[in-house]
Structure 1
Amino acid sequence: MKTLTFYFDHPVAVKIFLSCTSNKEHRYAIQFIRSDETGLLTIPVNDVPDGTWQLNMEWSFEDREYCIEKTIKMPEGTVL
């Protein structure tokens, strides 16, 4: 099982979008994945083809909105 893992200081529920940088037709939206109680967020990416991807995560915490943007390479799951 391929996954991406992120650690937060608090539990979160994030909205995740993936866009392939080499093929704009490959886009995935993963709706509202929740972290565990410690803030560990595991994102399943089994169906995401190999390549370089733009990852965007959106969430809110204590009435503030947040967004993270990362470039990742599949299959390694390396954050660039």
Structure 2
Amino acid sequence: MKSLRFNFCHPVKAKAHLVPLTGTDTKCLRMNVDSDESNLLEIPIDQCCDGNWRIELEWEYGNESFHHKKEFEVKRNKLLY
């Protein structure tokens, strides 16, 4: 399983929004994610097709709201010669 990983200093319950930046027929993916006690947040990207994507994370900690955006690229079955 391919995933994006984020390591926090504390447990996190977040909303993840995966937005395709390429391809007009690709749908956005939304999910709730939880690091449990490990503080490691893993977001599966197996459903993401090839291309450029942006992840948007939203969570709260200590009565404050946080938002993080990061772009990434998915490449499957790429053969190297």
TM score, norm. by length of structure 2: 0.83
Aligned length: 75
Q: Deviations over 1:24-80 (max 9, x none)?
A: 4421111x210031311111111111111011000000110000000011138xxxx
Q: CA 1:54 to 1:24, structure 2 compared with 1: closer, same or farther past 3 Å?
A: farther
User: Equivalents in 2 of 1:59, 1:37: separation in Å?
Assistant: 16
Structure 2 partner of 1:17:
17
SS of 2:46's equivalent in the other structure is coil
What stretches of structure 1 move > 3 A for 4+ residues in a row?
none
After superposition, the CA RMSD in angstroms is 1.5
Q: CA 1:75 to 1:5, structure 2 compared with 1: closer, same or farther past 3 Å?
A: farther
SS of 1:49's equivalent in the other structure is coil
List alignment gaps of at least 5 residues for structure 1.
Answer: none
- Opposite residue 22 of structure 2, the aligned amino acid is S
Structure 2 partner of 1:29:
30
Structure 2 partner of 1:6:
6
Task: Please give the residue correspondences for 1:36-47 in structure 2 after superposition, counting only pairs within 5 Å.
Answer: 36-47=36-47
Structure 2 partner of 1:59:
59
The structure number with the bigger radius of gyration is 2
* Contact 1:9 1:38 (8 Å CA) reproduced: no
Identity %: 31
